[in-house]
Each structure stands twice: as structure tokens, then as C-alpha cells.
């Protein structure tokens, strides 16, 4: 029954979107996302989907078209990355503030300058406060499964919130893997037609995006904060149901070796695979190490993260982006803020890695584990922020 | 504050989702008069009912009655154009009491 296809991460996105019976796709090509919309435009040209594909002149227009489309109640998808996501930035806030369940694939790529087309998380991290639900996938299979779940989550009638599914540029987008795909009917059953929170309908006029005075604006933002926070519980419902349809169980985070770990590494995306392999190797040598990978980055899963890190003596947080001028990279800042909120004092170091597609090699991780194990033994963080693999 | 009754004194939880305005024609419920810092006062002794203020008011806040004009203070923003245009200087702008 289960069919396994050879798909790159980008192709896995396009295939999932095809099965999700999307009404409108509006996008602008940018490496390494291009193959997503290229494949999808082939489905449109071949008449394999009923989707309206709106070609636009920029990513700013792409997201604007998606906002208009989603307002009419249409199931809407786009994909972008890097400079394209940056150009979309202001529209991202409008999509989330208007509670529009747009799904977007972000093929994570570095930001210029210097020009670089390879993978890192600078793009999404630059827009991490935009109010979207943000998910990071580890491989093509996860990308496929998350795109389908993303529509269901985004369109949950109580949530109605845009969702970004992140896949590392090239490492995932361009690598072909065996992806177990669902039958079209199964996806259709899992993902019923969208029931919009509100729509633009000339027979029942409403105003959208109206002016809010200082007396009201803040109350709307308060509402939005709470709405996004509720995405966590919804995600658990969606992943539970998806497991029944697919046999694959997702959630908020995934950990390995954490039952008795003294030192742990926390990361997002494709690097988790390399870290897990390293954890297995070190555990075979008797080292008590573990890995936690977040699937859900926004809303930030504070409780679940604290639960998974309970009992460890040292933590290394891997950030594939710089937060220039900040004390730590973005993920590490979130983790330390969470420790503070829960009254925890776990000695923590931050590793900035993989910028502009720099490979994270086993010996880079071996250095990182040496450091974090040293911290676990001594309780002292000698180097709070390290740059993995940078030539000194 | 005299703002739209749609949103009046509602806590954040009770506001329309996503800041939408769920029905049309609600601008009449929004009393823009509270933007005003100066208030036009018409001296009925001097007023000749020439209607120039009625013509010039950008907010249609001057209302006609058979014998005289009146200011609708719910919508008058206090711009002072009426006082400027009045040929007999029957309108004076006075500071709003705080």
C-alpha cells in the first residue's frame, strides 16, 4: 500500500502540495526553492491539479497575492527563502495578523552579502517574530509529512494561522531520498476542505485591515499572542491524528539518548541527523550524551523543552544563524530565556555553525561534544559562543 | 472615549478576531468629535444663515435648520475652516475644556 518515491526535498514539497488540493499558489522563483514551484507549475500545466498559479514580479507581491487569495477562503501556498523571504517580511506580519492559514515552504538559505545561495537559517530567523507557526524539518520525508500537517494545522477553525515549514537549502532541498507518500484519498480524508474564520463576500461586507487607534491596537496584538500560543496544543492534536493516517508520529520535538544524558545538544533541521549519529557513536563509547531536535520553533515550546532537558548537567545549543549584536544566536537566546523563566541554571554554550552552507563535519561535532562534556564535568562554560569550523 | 460601539470597552478576548470589522457602514458610529482641540461656537446674533460654513465644512458637521445652522459636535474635528470662511465673523474657535 505504501509507495516509496525518490524525491528531493523540494519535490517532496511540490508532491505534498499537489495532494493537498490547493486552490492558489503564488510564488517567485529563488534558489534553492525554485524546484518546488517549478515542479508544481508542471502539475498545473499538465492539468493534474485545479490550482490557479499566479506568477508575480517579486516575493512581496507573492505574499500579497496569497493574502488576497486566502481572504476569499482559498487554500493557499507559497514557497521562498533568503532575500525573497526578507522582501516578504512586511507582508508576513499582515498574513499572521489577519489570521490567514497560508502554508509556506522556506528552503533556508543565507542572506547576502557576500552573495551565497547555500543553506543556513538566517532567513527564517530574521523573520522569526512575524507571528507565523514555524516548523523545521530534518529530511525529505519530514518535509513531505509536515507540509500536509501544516495545512491541517493552519486551517484548524479555532487556530487559523499561517505556517512556515523550513527545509535546509540543498542539504534537504536538492538531495534525493526515498519518501513514503500517502495515497491521494488518504490525504483528502485527513485534510477536509477549508472552513474559513471569515471571508471576503460582497453579500456580507466586512472591513479587513482597518485602522486601529492606540486604544485598540495593543489589545489585538494581545489576542494574536494568545492565538499563536494555542498552536502548540493544536499541533499535538494534528500530529496524533496524522499518525493514525500515515503511521508516522510527529510532535513538538524529538530526542535521542536523553533518558540518562548528562550533556546534550539542541538543534533544528537537517543537522539533527549528523548530531544523532554522533550521539550514537559516543554512547557506544559510554558517554552519557543526547540530542534534542525541535520540530516546532514558534510558538517556542518552553514546557516540553524543559521536560526533555531535565537532569542534564550541560547543554550546547546549535544556531545556524547569527543574531548580530545579541548575546547569543537566536535559538540559544530563547533557550536561556526559558531557563530563566523556569528558574533553571543549566550551564549552556552556544555553537554558531553552518553559515552559508558550511558543512558540519563529524569532527566539528566531536569538538562540540568534547566541550559540552567538559562543561558537564566542571560546571564551567569557558567559551559561551563558539563558531564551528571557522579558520582561526 | 466615544469610539465605535462595536468595540466599546471590550477586553482583548472579546474583540473581533484579527481586527476585522464584521459589519458595513460602521464609520457613522465612530465619533470623530473627540479629536477636536478647538471648538467652533456660532454667535446666533451675528449669523446671517448664508450657509458658507455648511458648504465649506469638510466633515459635513454643519447641520441646517430652517432658520440657522448648528454644529454637530459628535463629528466636528475642530479644523476651523467654518470660522475662517464666515463673512460676518459669527464663528469663534475656543479651546476645548480638558
**Fold exhibited by the domain A3-246:** Rossmann fold (3.40.50)
Q: For residues A144 and B68, which has the higher predicted lDDT (pLDDT)? A: A144
Global confidence as pTM:
0.91
Tell me whether residues A97 and B19 touch, CB distance under 8 A.
yes
Q: Do residue B13 and residue A216 have CB atoms under 8 angstroms apart?
A: no
Q: Which residues of A touch B17 (CB under 8 A)?
A: 99, 160, 197-198, 223
Asked whether residue B4 carries a pLDDT value surpassing 60, the answer given is: no
pLDDT on residue A344:
94
Residues of chain A with CATH 3.40.50.920: 254-387
Where along chain A do the CATH 3.40.50.970 domains lie?
Answer: 3-246
Give chain B positions within 8 Å (CB) of A198: 17-18, 20, 22
Number of CB pairs, chain A paired with chain B, less than 8 A apart: 54
Given a cut of 70, is residue B3 above it in pLDDT? no
Find the CB nearest A98 among B12, B15, B18: B18
pLDDT at position B97 is: 81
- What confidence tier does A220 reach under pLDDT thresholds 50, 70, 90? very high
Q: Looking at the complex, does the CB of residue B3 fall below 8 Å from at least one CB of chain A?
A: yes
The pLDDT of A226-236, averaged and rounded, is 98
The answer, for B7 touching chain A at a CB cutoff of 8 Å, is yes
pLDDT tens for A184-196 read: 999 999 999 999 9
Confidence of residue A2 (pLDDT cuts 50, 70, 90): confident
Cβ–Cβ below 8 Å for A212 and B19? yes
pLDDT tens digit string along A309-362? 999 999 999 999 999 999 999 999 999 999 999 999 999 999 999 999 999 999
Segment A265-274, tens digit of pLDDT: 999 999 999 9
Convert chain A into a string of H (helix), E (strand) and C (coil).
CCEEEEEEHHHHHHHHHHHCCCCEEEECCCCCCHHHHHHHHHHHHCCCCCCEEEECCCHHHHHHHHHHHHHCCCCEEEEECHHHHHHHHHHHHHHHHCCCCCEEEECCCCCCCCCCCCCCCHHHHHCCCCCCEEEECCCHHHHHHHHHHHHHHHCCCCCCCCEEEECCCCCCCCCEEEEEECCHHHHHHHCCCCCCCCCCCCCCCCECCCCCCHHHHHHHHHHHHHHHHCHHHHHHHHHHHHHHHHCCCCCCEEEECCCCCCEEEEEECCHHHHHHHHHHHHHHCCCCEEEEEECEEECCCHHHHHHHHCCCCEEEEEECCCCCCCCCCHHHHHHHHHHHHCCCCCCEEEEECCHHHCCCCHHHHHHHHHHHHHHHHHCCCCCCEEECCCCC
Span B6-55, pLDDT tens digits: 556 689 999 999 999 999 988 888 889 999 999 999 999 999 999 999 99
Residue B2: is its pLDDT beyond 60?
no
Name the residue facing B12 among A97, A207, A219 (closest C-beta). A219
Task: Please indicate if any CB of chain A lies within 8 Å of the CB of B5.
Answer: no
Q: Is B18 on the interface with A (CB under 8 A)?
A: yes
What topology does CATH give the domain A254-387?
Rossmann fold (3.40.50)
Contact A220 B21 (CB under 8 A): no
pLDDT of residue B58: 96
Contact A207 B15 (CB under 8 A): no
Please tell me which residue of chain B has the smallest CA distance to A226. B13
**What does the alpha-carbon distance between residue A264 and residue A52 come to, in Å, rounded to a whole number?**
46
pLDDT more than 90, % of chain A? 97
Average pLDDT value over all residues in chain A: 97
Q: B1 pLDDT band (50/70/90 cuts)?
A: very low
pLDDT at residue A33 tops 70: yes
User: Is residue B20 less than 8 Å (CB to CB) from chain A?
Assistant: yes
For B41-91, the pLDDT digits (tens) are 999 999 999 999 999 999 999 999 888 899 999 999 999 999 999 999 999
Amino acid at each position: 500500500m505504501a509507495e516509496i518515491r525518490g524525491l528531493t526535498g523540494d519535490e517532496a514539497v511540490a508532491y505534498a502540495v499537489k495532494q493537498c488540493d490547493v486552490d492558489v499558489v503564488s510564488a517567485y522563483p529563488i534558489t534553492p526553492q525554485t524546484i518546488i514551484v517549478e515542479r508544481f507549475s508542471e502539475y498545473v500545466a499538465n492539468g493534474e491539479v485545479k490550482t490557479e498559479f499566479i506568477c508575480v514580479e517579486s516575493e512581496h507581491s507573492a505574499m500579497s497575492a496569497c493574502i488576497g487569495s486566502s481572504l476569499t477562503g482559498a487554500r493557499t501556498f507559497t514557497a521562498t527563502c533568503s532575500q525573497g523571504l526578507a522582501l516578504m517580511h512586511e507582508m508576513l506580519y499582515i498574513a499572521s495578523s489577519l489570521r490567514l492559514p497560508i502554508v509556506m515552504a522556506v528552503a533556508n538559505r543565507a542572506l547576502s552579502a557576500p552573495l551565497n545561495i547555500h543553506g543556513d537559517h538566517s532567513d527564517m530567523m530574521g523573520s522569526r517574530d512575524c507571528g507565523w507557526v514555524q516548523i523545521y524539518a530534518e529530511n525529505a520525508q519530514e518535509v513531505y509529512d509536515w507540509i500536509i500537517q501544516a495545512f491541517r494545522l493552519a486551517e484548524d477553525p479555532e487556530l487559523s494561522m499561517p505556517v512556515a515549514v523550513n527545509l535546509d537549502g540543498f542539504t534537504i532541498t536538492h538531495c534525493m531520498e526515498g519518501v513514503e507518500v500517502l495515497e491521494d484519498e488518504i490525504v483528502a480524508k485527513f485534510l477536509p476542505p477549508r472552513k474559513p474564520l471569515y471571508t471576503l463576500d460582497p453579500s456580507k461586507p466586512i472591513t479587513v485591515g482597518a485602522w486601529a487607534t492606540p486604544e485598540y491596537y495593543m489589545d489585538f496584538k494581545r489576542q494574536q499572542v494568545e492565538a499563536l500560543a494555542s498552536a502548540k496544543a493544536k499541533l499535538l492534536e494534528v500530529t496524533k491524528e496524522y499518525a493514525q493516517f500515515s503511521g508516522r508520529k510527529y510532535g513538538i520535538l524529538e530526542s535521542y539518548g536523553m533518558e540518562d544524558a548528562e550533556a546534550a545538544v539542541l538543534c533544528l533541521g537537517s543537522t539533527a541527523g549528523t548530531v544523532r549519529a554522533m550521539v550514537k557513536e559516543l554512547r557506544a563509547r559510554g558517554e552519557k550524551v543526547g540530542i534534542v531536535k525541535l520540530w516546532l520553533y514558534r510558538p517556542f515550546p518552553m514546557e516540553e523543552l524543559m521536560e526533555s532537558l531535565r537532569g542534564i548537567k550541560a547543554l550546547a545549543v546549535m544556531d545556524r544563524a547569527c543574531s548580530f549584536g545579541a548575546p547569543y544566536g537566536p535559538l540559544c537566546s530563547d533557550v536561556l530565556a526559558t531557563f530563566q523563566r523556569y528558574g533553571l541554571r543549566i550551564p549552556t554554550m552556544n555553537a554558531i555553525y553552518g553559515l552559508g552552507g558550511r558543512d558540519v563535519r563529524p569532527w566539528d561535532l566531536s569538538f562540540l561534544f568534547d566541550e559540552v562534556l567538559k562543561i558537564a564535568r566542571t560546571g564551567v562554560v569557558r567559551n559561551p559562543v563558539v563558531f564551528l569550523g571557522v579558520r582561526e | 472615549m466615544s469610539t465605535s460601539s462595536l468595540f466599546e470597552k471590550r477586553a482583548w478576548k472579546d474583540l473581533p478576531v484579527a481586527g476585522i470589522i464584521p459589519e458595513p457602514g460602521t464609520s457613522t458610529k465612530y465619533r470623530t468629535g473627540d479629536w477636536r482641540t478647538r471648538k467652533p461656537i456660532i454667535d446666533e446674533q451675528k449669523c446671517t444663515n448664508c450657509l458658507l460654513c455648511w458648504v465649506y465644512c469638510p466633515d459635513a458637521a454643519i447641520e441646517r435648520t430652517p432658520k440657522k445652522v448648528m454644529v454637530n459636535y459628535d463629528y466636528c474635528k475642530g479644523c476651523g475652516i467654518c470660522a475662517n470662511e464666515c463673512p460676518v465673523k459669527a464663528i469663534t474657535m475656543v479651546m476645548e475644556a480638558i
